[in-house]
Amino acid sequence: MTDPVNHTILLLDIEQFGRRDDVEQAFMRRMLYSVLHETLRSAGVEPAEQRLEDRGDSVMALISPTVPKPRLLHALINETPTLLHANNRLAAAGARVRLRIVLASGEVAVQELGGALGGAVGWDLNQAFRLLDSTALREALRHRDGPCVLGVSDALYQGIVRHGHGGLLPEAFHRVTVQGKEGDFTAWLHGEPAPAPAEAPSPVPAAAPAPPPAESRTPATFQFLGGTPTFGGALIGGDQHIVSGGEVHGDVNTGNTVGGER
């Protein structure tokens, strides 16, 4: 394995690649590489200054640190969307490409493996892939009308974008927090923030049913079989029918059933 060397890290990933069939995927991969090569050419990146690794639905480019990062950012912000739009105009609806893009920088070591392509390792590279696969970047693209969204690492934002190098506009980026496997970290996305998810309304408790009007209440009917009933401390026994100064409506049975009002 080589010693770590500083690189500019460029990652591009196709949205919803796995939902397409084999023919569509092959077409989209060709478009991905065409857009990448044209983007790098417009940024003045020579073939000797780049190393590409294929990742199926994505591609990684390790770019020499001698290439000015403002040039790369300008190409990604201005040229890449134009290239995607031009290619998508000629593509069937099911094969149009939308990209999540990450630009970062950091120390990367390369280990050449016999019979295999790839072998780049490094903390900064891992974090760049965490950003590429983050919910923040996915949601930003989902809410965009355009064909791509760009995220940059905090180190690249603080060192390049924040100072407006090359005419970059810091206010065109907004800060996001990315949840990584090794802990949360800060990144910056170009363009307007995705709308915040709407909160679910609180359930409204059902109102208790109103009691029926007094005149609609049905008089109660009481029936006592044996024993001596009492109501509120008053006694009903034998032929007595007055209860605590009130009246008993309905039938009261004290051995015999008596109807009417008492």
Q: Choose one of 190, 210, 233: the last residue of a domain.
A: 190
Within the chain, where are the H helices?
22-42, 69-74, 80-88, 123-132, 135-142, 154-156
Residue 112 has a pLDDT of 76
At which of 151, 168, 190 does a domain end?
190
* 182 and 238 assigned to the same domain: no
Q: Is residue 244 part of a domain?
A: yes
The reply to whether 83 falls in a domain is yes
Q: Is pLDDT of 210 > 90?
A: no
Query: Do 37 and 160 sit in the same domain of this protein?
Result: yes
Task: Answer yes or no: is 204 within a domain.
Answer: no
Residue 234 sits at φ, ψ, to 5 deg, of -90, 155
Is 212 domain-assigned? no
Residue 245 pLDDT > 50: no
Query: Given this model, what pLDDT does residue 10 score?
Result: 98
pLDDT-wise least confident of 11-20, 41-50, 143-152, 237-246:
237-246
Domain count, the chain: 2
When mean pLDDT is compared across 144-148, 191-195, 218-222, the lowest value belongs to 218-222
- The pLDDT score that the predictor gives to residue 244 is 45
- 60-79 as b/e: b if 16+ CB within 10 A: bbbbeeebebbebbbbbbeb
pLDDT in tens, 80-122: 999 999 999 999 999 999 999 999 999 999 887 776 666 899 9
Tell whether 163 and 253 lie within a shared domain. Answer: no
Indicate if 14 and 138 belong to the same structural domain: yes
Average pLDDT over residues 187-199: 81
For range 171-183, the mean pLDDT: 92
Tell me the percentage of the chain whose pLDDT exceeds 90: 64
Contacts of 31 (CB under 8 A, 6+ apart): 87, 91, 95, 97
Q: Does the pLDDT value for residue 188 go beyond 90?
A: yes
**pLDDT (tens digit, 9 = 90+) per residue, 3-24?**
899 999 999 999 999 999 999 9
Determine the Cα–Cα distance for residues 142 and 100; give it in Å rounded to an integer. Answer: 10
Q: Tell whether the model's pLDDT for residue 201 goes beyond 70.
A: no
Q: Decide: 69 and 156 in contact? Cβ < 8 Å.
A: yes
Whether residues 151 and 252 share a domain: the answer is no
Q: Which one-letter amino acid corresponds to residue 87?
A: N
The reply to whether 144 falls in a domain is yes
- pLDDT score of 253 more than 60: no
Give residue 1's pLDDT.
Answer: 77
Closest CA to 97 of 34, 191, 11: 34
| Residue 41 CB neighbours (<10 A) | 13
Q: Which of 190, 210, 242 is the last residue of a domain?
A: 190
User: Are residues 247 and 156 located together in one domain of the fold?
Assistant: no
Instruction: CATH number of the domain at 97, please.
Output: 3.30.70.1230
CA separation, residue 104 to residues 41, 47, 53, 107, 125 (Å): 19, 19, 16, 10, 8
The one-letter amino acid code at 1 reads M
pLDDT of residue 258 exceeding 50, the answer is no
Q: Are residues 184 and 236 in the same domain?
A: no
Helix axes 123-132, 135-142, angle to 10 degrees: 40
pLDDT band at 55, cuts 50/70/90?
A: confident
- Residue span of the structural domain in which 186 resides: 5-190
Closest CA to 224 of 234, 211, 236: 236
Say if 197 falls within a structural domain.
no
Q: In terms of pLDDT, which residue wins out, 15 or 214?
A: 15
Query: How much is the pLDDT for 53?
Result: 92
